[in-house]
């Protein structure tokens, strides 16, 4: 059913720390790996070893440059982006077949691939580009929040988190219940001023992003500078003679 | 957005077909028998041809029947229902006109209303998408309905109605372009709001992948905008100007046919631009529009 639930019992989602992310793309690869080998249609690549490789991914890392208005140096921010499991998910309500749905029990937005007609309308409706039509299976692919890991009792307990979170070497990705204000992720969002992407779209994303911390600025207090001031502006010795001789020639600049 | 030929053909032809059905449902023209049959065959060919064309862009057309299930929330599902209902109701009305010379006018009115509701639901598929500011708003249904009515009047041979309706559709088209060109800027969605990064100017430094991907091909289709200015002029001349001139000339079936053909060509150009010039906000993540 593609009507959205009015509330969900839990709001499972990710908190992504833009201060900590080093842009290594390990989350992209672990996501592609897990979601190709496990639940749903594999994430296909086309022309993988040719001149124009394309493929479906559920998580991609952009990089942005932020140039401050003052003279401070620009900073580079690595920006992982995947489905934000919005409370008011526009991708769900546009689906004509009911293949797209949001779960009442944990708020995860999923696609029932056997009911998907591959019309692509949900990908158009998503402002974040979180959905990609698989080039081989022709069904819509999106982040499942590794629903086949987080409840999987065959996995050791530490592995029962999304593959991207498990693999992140920098600890920039956090998984938890954002509907519970006492949870570790909610506390993190409160402490660090976590924010929504495109809040003006009214999608009410569950996933939050933590802003990069302000960068340290080197103060221009060089105590040795006065002692290192140039002793003379004019050259000495042979170069000094050459300079004076050339300056004496007609046409030389004053 | 990617101007997929199947979608352009579908929305243009079915819009014309349902526009013609609306006029036929109103009893215009009041023909019966073979002449009526010819009108209804044209209307059904356009409407059904468009619907069949739309199936070509589906990844799994064999599951298309499932698209009838979510009419509570999805305009695409509502369009499917309204299209089928229109074809059924107008079909019964048409049978009366063609085989028995009967005029079941209430049924005709219902068919006309359903035909226009179908066009409205098609337009709402696009107008409901906030992620594409150029489409998001009441102008999109107005644009589709005015085109459908003008084309329908033209096909139904209603010269008196076609002239003002073509002028109206041309006016709406101009407003759609003028409003649309600033829609993304007015939407308030920028690279800064998309990334939430503050404290300076944000610039896309490096994309996530070296090649292209589904998102860029489908939603950041910049190459389709190359001849936008020329296509706009062609739309105005072929879609509205020439048909109006041809209608003013003394009536002749060949001139009428020529008016319909140039109108359809013009609307193809307009529909190409409708898709190609629509900027999806996901482009902001790539530093593109």
Mutation test of the interface with chain B: which of A119, A135, A208, choosing the one with the most B Cβ atoms within 10 A?
A119
* Token duo for residue A244: 């004076």
Name A13's bridge partners.
A176
Q: If residue B22 lies in a helix (H) or strand (E), which one and from where to where?
A: helix B5-25
Specify the DSSP class assigned to residue A71: S
A251 is a domain residue: no
CA B196 → CA A19, A45, A127, distances in Å?
13, 31, 14
Distance between CA atoms of residues B261 and B274, nearest Å: 20
A63 to chain B: which residues are within 8 Å by CB?
204-206
Is residue A13 a contact partner of residue A180, using CB atoms and an 8 Å limit? no
- Does B215 touch chain A if contact means CB atoms closer than 8 Å? yes
Answer yes or no: do A94 and B75 touch at CB < 8 A.
Answer: yes
Share of chain A above pLDDT 90, in %: 77
3-state secondary structure chain A: CCCCCCCCCCCEEEEEECCCCCCCCHHHHHHHHHHHHCCCCCCCEECCCCCCCEECCCEEEEEEEEECCCCCCCEEEEEEEECCCCCCCHHHHCCCCCCEEECCCCCCEEECHHHCCCCCHHHHHCCCCCCEECCCCCCEECCCCCHHHHCCCCCCHHHCCCHHHHHCCCCCEEEEECCCCCCHHHHHHHHHCCECCCHHHCCCCCCEEECCCCCCCCCCCCCCHHHHCCCCCCCCHHHHHHHHHHHHCCCCCC
Is residue B192 a contact partner of residue B155, using CB atoms and an 8 Å limit? no
Q: If residue A162 lies in a helix (H) or strand (E), which one and from where to where?
A: none
A199 is a domain residue: yes
Chain centroid offset of residue A47 CA: 26
A240 is a domain residue: no
A210 to chain B: which residues are within 8 Å by CB?
none
Share of chain B above pLDDT 90, in %: 81
Answer yes or no: do A98 and B205 touch at CB < 8 A.
Answer: no
Answer yes or no: do B188 and A66 touch at CB < 8 A.
Answer: no
B286 to chain A: which residues are within 8 Å by CB?
62
Is residue B112 a contact partner of residue B29, using CB atoms and an 8 Å limit? no
- Does A124 touch chain B if contact means CB atoms closer than 8 Å? yes
- Name the closest residue on chain B to residue A195, using Cα atoms: B196
* Token duo for residue B274: 């409708």
Distance from CA of A237 to the nearest CA of B (A): 51
State which residues form the domain around B251: 5-56+66-286
B12 is a domain residue: yes
Specify the DSSP class assigned to residue A195: B
Would you state the pLDDT for residue B196? 96
Distance from CA of A106 to the nearest CA of B (A): 21
Q: B112-140 b/e with 16+ CB inside 10 Å = b?
A: bebbbbbbbbbbbbbbbbbbbbbbbbebb
A214 to chain B: which residues are within 8 Å by CB?
199
Q: SS3 of A15, please?
A: strand
Q: Which of B284, B85, B146 is nearest to B204 (CA)?
A: B284
At A242, give phi and psi (nearest 5°): -60, -45
A53 to chain B: which residues are within 8 Å by CB?
211
pLDDT, tens digit (0-9, with 9 covering 90-100), for A51-71 = 999 999 999 999 999 998 887
Burial class (CB in 10 A: 0-12, 13-18, 19+), A75: middle
pLDDT exceeds 90 at position B201: yes
Distance between CA atoms of residues B236 and B201, nearest Å: 40
Answer yes or no: do B131 and A125 touch at CB < 8 A.
Answer: yes
Q: B191-208 b/e with 16+ CB inside 10 Å = b?
A: bbbbbbbebbebebbbbb
Residue with tokens 């003002």: B164
Q: How many domains does chain A have?
A: 1
pLDDT exceeds 90 at position A72: no
Largest pairwise CA distance in chain B: 75
- Name the closest residue on chain B to residue A52, using Cα atoms: B211
A117 to chain B: which residues are within 8 Å by CB?
58-61, 63-64, 66-67
A32 to chain B: which residues are within 8 Å by CB?
none
pLDDT exceeds 80 at position A233: no
CA-based angle B77:B79:B80, to the nearest 5? Answer: 65
Would you state the pLDDT for residue B97? 92
A5-31: average pLDDT: 95
B192 is a domain residue: yes
A243 is a domain residue: no
> How does residue A215 score in pLDDT terms, banded at 50, 70 and 90?
confident
CB contacts < 8 A (A, B):
195
B182 is a domain residue: yes
pLDDT, tens digit (0-9, with 9 covering 90-100), for A124-169 = 999 999 999 999 999 999 999 999 999 999 999 999 999 999 999 9
Residue B260: count of CB within 10 angstroms of its CB:
18
Answer yes or no: do B218 and A98 touch at CB < 8 A.
Answer: no
> How does residue A220 score in pLDDT terms, banded at 50, 70 and 90?
low
pLDDT exceeds 90 at position B278: yes
Q: Which of B73, B196, B206 sits opposite A2 (nearest CB)?
A: B73
Answer yes or no: do A124 and B198 touch at CB < 8 A.
Answer: no
Is residue A67 a contact partner of residue A83, using CB atoms and an 8 Å limit? no
pLDDT, tens digit (0-9, with 9 covering 90-100), for A178-191 = 999 999 999 999 99
A247 is a domain residue: no
pLDDT, tens digit (0-9, with 9 covering 90-100), for B113-131 = 999 999 999 999 999 999 9
State which residues form the domain around A188: 12-210
Distance from CA of B192 to the nearest CA of A (A): 9
B133 to chain A: which residues are within 8 Å by CB?
none
Q: B37-54 b/e with 16+ CB inside 10 Å = b?
A: eebbebbbebbeebbebb
A82 to chain B: which residues are within 8 Å by CB?
none
Residue A136: count of CB within 10 angstroms of its CB:
13
Specify the DSSP class assigned to residue B200: S
Share of chain A above pLDDT 70, in %: 96
What's the N-to-C CA distance of chain B in angstroms?
10
The CATH number of the domain holding residue B134 is 1.20.1630.10
Q: How many domains does chain B have?
A: 1
CA B212 → CA A58, A244, B79, B120, B285, distances in Å?
15, 62, 32, 34, 14
pLDDT exceeds 90 at position A237: no
- Name the closest residue on chain B to residue A193, using Cα atoms: B196
B215 to chain A: which residues are within 8 Å by CB?
123, 129, 132
Burial class (CB in 10 A: 0-12, 13-18, 19+), A12: buried
* Token duo for residue A188: 């993190």
Distance from CA of A22 to the nearest CA of B (A): 13
Answer yes or no: do A90 and B130 touch at CB < 8 A.
Answer: yes
Would you state the pLDDT for residue A97? 96
Interfacial B residues in 270-289 facing A (CB < 8 Å): 280-282, 285-286
Answer yes or no: do A116 and B59 touch at CB < 8 A.
Answer: yes
Would you state the pLDDT for residue A1? 58
Q: Which of B196, B211, B218 sits opposite A211 (nearest CB)?
A: B196
Q: Which of A141, A210, A201 is nearest to B284 (CA)?
A: A201
Is residue B152 a contact partner of residue B23, using CB atoms and an 8 Å limit? yes
Is residue A57 a contact partner of residue A206, using CB atoms and an 8 Å limit? no
The CATH number of the domain holding residue A199 is 3.30.70.20
Q: Which of B131, B198, B209 sits opposite A126 (nearest CB)?
A: B131
- Does A88 touch chain B if contact means CB atoms closer than 8 Å? no
Answer yes or no: do A2 and B61 touch at CB < 8 A.
Answer: no
């Amino acid at each position: 059913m593609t009507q959205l639930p009015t509330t969900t019992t839990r709001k499972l989602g990710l908190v992504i720390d833009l201060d900590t992310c080093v842009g290594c793309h390990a989350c992209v690869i672990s996501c592609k790996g897990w979601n190709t080998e496990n639940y749903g249609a594999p994430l296909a690549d086309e022309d993988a070893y040719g001149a124009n490789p394309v493929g479906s991914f559920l998580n991609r890392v952009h990089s942005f440059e932020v140039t401050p208005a003052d003279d401070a140096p620009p900073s580079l921010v690595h920006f992982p982006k995947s489905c934000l499991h919005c409370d008011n998910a526009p991708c769900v309500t546009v689906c004509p077949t009911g293949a797209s749905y949001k779960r009442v029990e944990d708020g995860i937005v999923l696609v029932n691939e056997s009911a998907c007609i591959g019309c692509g309308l949900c990908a158009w409706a998503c402002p974040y580009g979180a959905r990609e039509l698989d080039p081989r299976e022709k069904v819509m692919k999106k982040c499942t929040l590794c629903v086949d890991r987080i409840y999987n009792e065959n996995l050791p307990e530490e592995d029962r988190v999304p593959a991207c979170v498990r693999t992140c070497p920098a600890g920039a990705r956090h998984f938890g219940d954002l509907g519970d204000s006492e949870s570790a992720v909610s506390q993190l969002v409160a402490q660090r001023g976590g924010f929504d992407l495109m809040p003006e779209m009214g999608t009410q994303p569950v996933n939050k992003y933590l802003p990069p911390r302000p960068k340290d600025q080197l103060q221009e207090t060089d105590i040795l500078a006065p002692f290192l001031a140039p002793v003379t502006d004019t050259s000495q010795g042979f170069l000094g003679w050459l300079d004076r001789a050339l300056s004496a020639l007609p046409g030389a600049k004053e | 957005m990617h101007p997929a030929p199947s979608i352009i053909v579908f929305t243009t032809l079915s819009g014309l077909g349902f526009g013609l059905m609306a006029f036929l449902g109103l009893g215009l023209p009041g023909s019966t028998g073979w002449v009526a049959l010819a009108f209804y065959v044209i209307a059904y060919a356009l409407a059904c041809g468009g619907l069949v064309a739309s199936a070509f862009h589906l990844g799994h057309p064999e599951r298309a029947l499932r698209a009838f299930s979510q009419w509570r929330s999805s305009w695409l599902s509502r369009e499917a229902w309204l299209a089928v209902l229109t074809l059924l109701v107008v079909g019964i009305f048409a049978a009366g006109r063609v085989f028995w010379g009967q005029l079941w006018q209430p049924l005709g009115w219902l068919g006309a209303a359903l035909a226009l509701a179908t066009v409205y639901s098609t337009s709402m598929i696009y107008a409901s998408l906030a992620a594409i500011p150029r489409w998001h708003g009441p102008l999109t249904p107005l644009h589709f309905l005015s085109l459908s009515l003008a084309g329908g009047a033209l096909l139904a041979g209603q010269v008196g109605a076609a002239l003002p309706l073509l002028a109206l559709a041309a006016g709406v088209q101009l407003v759609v372009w003028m409003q649309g060109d600033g829609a993304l800027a007015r939407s308030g969605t920028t690279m800064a709001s998309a990334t939430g990064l503050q404290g300076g100017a944000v610039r896309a430094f490096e994309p996530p992948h070296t090649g292209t991907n589904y998102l860029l091909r489908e939603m950041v289709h910049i190459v389709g905008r190359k001849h936008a200015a020329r296509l706009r002029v062609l739309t105005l001349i072929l879609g509205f100007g020439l048909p109006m001139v041809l209608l003013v000339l003394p009536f002749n079936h060949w001139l009428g046919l020529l008016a319909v053909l140039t109108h359809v060509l013009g609307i193809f150009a307009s529909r190409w631009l409708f898709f190609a010039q629509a900027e999806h906000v996901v482009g902001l993540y790539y530093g593109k529009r």
